[in-house]
Amino acid sequence: MGPRPVRHHRRRPIGAVDPRGAALAAGRPRPRGAGRRRRDRARGVVRPGRHARRPAERVTTVRGRLALGGFAALVLLVSGCTTSPPEEPDASSAPSSTSTSDETPTATPTPEQPRPRRGECHRLSLATAVAPTTQLPPTSCRRPHTAETFFVGRLDLEREGRTLAVDSPAAQRRPAETCPRRAASHLGITPVEMRLTMARAVWFTPTVADAEAGADWFRCDLVVVAAPDVLMRLPRRTAGSGDLPALAMCGTAEPGTKAFTRVACLRKHAWKAIASVDLPGPRFPEAGVVAGRMEPACRAAARERSDDPLEFRWVEERPTKKQWAAGQRYGICWVPA
């Protein structure tokens, strides 16, 4: 079960548990009276100033899931291909000369799947996109498709004089590092900017049987998650399209609430991700450290987008311990759309 969400009034917890497992901390205005007409900078709550007449807005802190839909949860088991046993030689075709050996030459195995090519398009479901291998043939990029191959590389299967299994963590390390980095370059944006999109890199390697037959490629595909378990239909070419509004990350409701679902901004939405904040250190930071980094950064980003510099609202989405251990070292700032 996830962290307990708590609403804070100054220093006293007064909230309840959010069943989605998001820690919620919202600032609230002080009682009426002296000292109310100012902004509380320490808590990130914007209060009415001299020229403000509307109720103060609040900042909400969410410790929630930064992972997308079923990307981290879905694991498919893929079996390797099998080959038929070699046929016995026909006795009538044997040479007439006497031989001291009954050995027959063995044919060199050939990979069943051809080497993929950059620029190919594919019609994948989310389940297929997160599988380690796929043998679905490419489709025309003029037809509906959900994935585009933007890079094809070579696996490092030789290590200290021995051959690595294609599905081993050591063999999978190269595509896992290469594909996400090249995806941002393919889209024409930085890896930091890509955090605020629903575009993701997925990769495929040969089956075990094909790898044993000599296949050593890996394939990087670009997909866009439109909604949970739904991939977006892509344009004919995706190169340089990272700034398209349709690819941006949005939410159906305030992050941390039951109604919140992460979606691409082409879908109906109420909140939008506007910035990410790097979090320091090798160990999972304490809440105070995270707040010290995220609160000023999110406040500045929200103020920049607001029509009223004295009244605005934002949400801080912080990584969980599990996400931190998986390498996700940043939080996300959200504002109403």
User: Is 221 in contact with 204 (CB distance < 8 Å)?
Assistant: yes
Domain membership flag for residue 33: yes
User: Is 221 in contact with 148 (CB distance < 8 Å)?
Assistant: yes
Residue 129 and residue 30 in one domain: no
Residue 115 and residue 228 in one domain: yes
Given this model, what pLDDT does residue 77 score? 22
What is the tally of structural domains in the chain?
A: 2
At 284, list the tokens: 């999972």
Residue 151 and residue 36 in one domain: no
Given this model, what pLDDT does residue 159 score? 85
What is the gyration radius of the CA atoms in the chain, in angstroms? 27
Range of the domain at 215: 111-244
Given this model, what pLDDT does residue 285 score? 93
Residue 228 and residue 291 in one domain: no
**Cβ-based neighbour number of residue 239 at 10 Å:** 14
Given this model, what pLDDT does residue 58 score? 52
Residue 286 and residue 306 in one domain: yes
Given this model, what pLDDT does residue 130 score? 93
Residue 198 and residue 302 in one domain: no
Question: Which of the listed residues 221, 244, 267 is the one where a domain comes to its end?
Answer: 244
Residue 201 and residue 293 in one domain: no
Domain membership flag for residue 97: no
Residue 134 and residue 214 in one domain: yes
Domain membership flag for residue 279: yes
Question: Which of the listed residues 188, 221, 244 is the one where a domain comes to its end?
Answer: 244
pTM: 0.70
Distance set, CA 33 to CA 38, 173, 292, 311 (Å): 11, 61, 29, 20
Residue 226 and residue 275 in one domain: no
Question: How does pLDDT run along the chain (337 residues), one tens digit per residue?
Answer: 444 333 333 333 323 333 333 333 333 333 344 443 333 333 333 333 333 333 344 555 555 444 333 334 332 222 222 333 333 333 334 444 444 445 555 556 678 889 999 999 999 999 999 999 999 999 999 999 999 999 999 999 998 889 999 999 999 999 999 999 999 999 999 999 999 999 999 999 999 999 999 999 999 999 999 999 999 999 999 999 999 999 999 999 999 999 999 999 999 999 999 999 999 889 999 999 999 999 999 999 999 999 998 899 999 999 999 999 988 999 999 999 9
User: Is 183 in contact with 191 (CB distance < 8 Å)?
Assistant: no
Residue 138 and residue 180 in one domain: yes
Domain membership flag for residue 84: no
Biggest CA-to-CA distance, the chain: 114
Residue 324 and residue 203 in one domain: no
Question: Which of the listed residues 244, 266, 285 is the one where a domain comes to its end?
Answer: 244
Residue 122 and residue 167 in one domain: yes
CA-based nearest residue to 329, from 155, 195, 185: 195
Domain membership flag for residue 103: no
Given this model, what pLDDT does residue 296 score? 97
